[in-house]
């Protein structure tokens, strides 16, 4: 009997000791109440508290995540969507979290749900799909005021997904397809227009070059005819003079065979003989220009326009080269 009583006293002393010692971890704080009365916060470490009449409430000081369930909302342009988010919070004042709110995690999650629906309802569909940062910022702003009273700091809010309903998705897909078809038609029309412009410019350039070529060919043909005419005239003149000289030589030979020692030679014949003085034996006539020379003097070159042919062709080529840039297409695709 004595052993039983001693064992019970030992067990009671052990339980009392255990209820008296409170160990607080480094990442938490605990609120202490004695007989229902708030007595303060217990910081990390070992604490002795009144046994059996004390109670502690644990508050984790690390960043905590709250998963906001999927919410259905209607945008400002009456498009139904579904969205969910994640909220990152940290307890910065355990006393207010203990005294001002029953369950700060549940309260923050419910407030995040209502804020998510409110923010999406105040935006159009396109904004909800493209402006995630704006949604995150507005939700965090809505949460920050009330959670400050609860001793909770909202570190960050991230919207995970915003999805329109299937009907809205089908309509968006049809709209996107129509927009792509419209752009394809515009690009095709622009390509055809540019091709037509380039073709017209090419034909115009070809016509101009062809006309210039025909003009140059006509000029050269006319110049050739003129030169050929002059050369034929010179050849005829040269052949006539040669015939006269030959005839004169025959006459002189016939006169030389006669008995008379006095000869009368016409001046025209002596002039012709002077041109061929080199062919006469013992003649003291100086060298002169050949009768059949094909060179033209200045008056003849000016009359035939020989010197202006190159000058005429060169400006034509330059004009054609300068005109090419003007014929380049200035069209640019929109």
pLDDT lower than 70: segments of the chain? 1, 234-334
Q: What is the DSSP letter of 277?
A: G
Over residues 183-235, the pLDDT tens digits come to 889 998 898 888 888 888 888 888 888 888 888 788 777 777 777 777 777 66
Question: What order of strands is seen across the sheet that includes strand 64-74?
Answer: 64-74, 80-91, 152-164
- Give the per-residue pLDDT at 245: 63
Over residues 3-22, the pLDDT tens digits come to 777 777 777 777 787 788 88
Is residue 77 classed as helix, strand or coil in its secondary structure?
coil
What is the distance between the alpha carbons of residues 248 and 143, in angstroms, rounded to a whole number?
A: 134
What is the distance between the alpha carbons of residues 329 and 334, in angstroms, rounded to a whole number?
A: 14
Residue with tokens 């380049």: 328
Q: What is the DSSP letter of 68?
A: E
């Amino acid at each position: 009997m004595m052993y039983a009583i001693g064992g019970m006293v030992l067990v009671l002393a052990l339980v009392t000791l255990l209820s008296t010692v409170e160990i607080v971890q480094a990442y938490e704080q605990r609120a202490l109440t004695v007989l229902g009365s708030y007595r303060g916060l217990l910081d990390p470490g070992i604490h002795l508290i009144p046994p059996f009449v004390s109670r502690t409430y644990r508050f984790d000081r690390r960043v905590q995540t709250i998963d906001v369930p999927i919410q259905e909302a209607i945008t400002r342009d009456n498009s139904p969507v579904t969205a969910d988010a994640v909220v990152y919070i940290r307890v910065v004042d355990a006393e207010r979290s203990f005294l001002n709110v029953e369950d700060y995690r549940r309260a923050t999650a419910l407030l995040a749900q209502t804020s998510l629906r409110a923010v999406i309802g105040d935006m159009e569909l396109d904004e909800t799909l493209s402006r995630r940062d704006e949604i995150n910022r507005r939700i965090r702003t809505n949460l920050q005021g009330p959670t400050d009273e609860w001793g909770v700091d909202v570190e960050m809010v991230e919207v995970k997904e915003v999805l329109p309903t299937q009907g809205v998705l089908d309509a968006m897909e049809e709209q996107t397809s129509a927009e792509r078809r419209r752009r394809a038609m515009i690009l095709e029309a622009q390509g055809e227009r540019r091709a037509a412009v380039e073709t017209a410019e090419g034909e115009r350039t070809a016509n101009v070059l062809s006309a210039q070529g025909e003009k140059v060919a006509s000029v050269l043909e006319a110049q050739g005819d003129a030169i050929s005419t002059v050369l034929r005239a010179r050849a005829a003149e040269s052949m006539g003079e040669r015939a006269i000289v030959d005839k004169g030589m025959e006459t002189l030979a016939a006169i030389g065979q006669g008995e008379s020692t006095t000869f009368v030679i016409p001046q025209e014949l002596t002039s012709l003989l002077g041109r061929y003085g080199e062919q006469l034996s013992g003649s003291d006539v100086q060298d002169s220009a050949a009768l059949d020379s094909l060179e033209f003097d200045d008056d003849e070159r000016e009359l035939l326009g020989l010197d202006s042919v190159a000058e005429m062709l060169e400006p034509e080529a330059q004009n054609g080269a300068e005109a090419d840039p003007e014929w380049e297409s200035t069209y640019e695709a929109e």
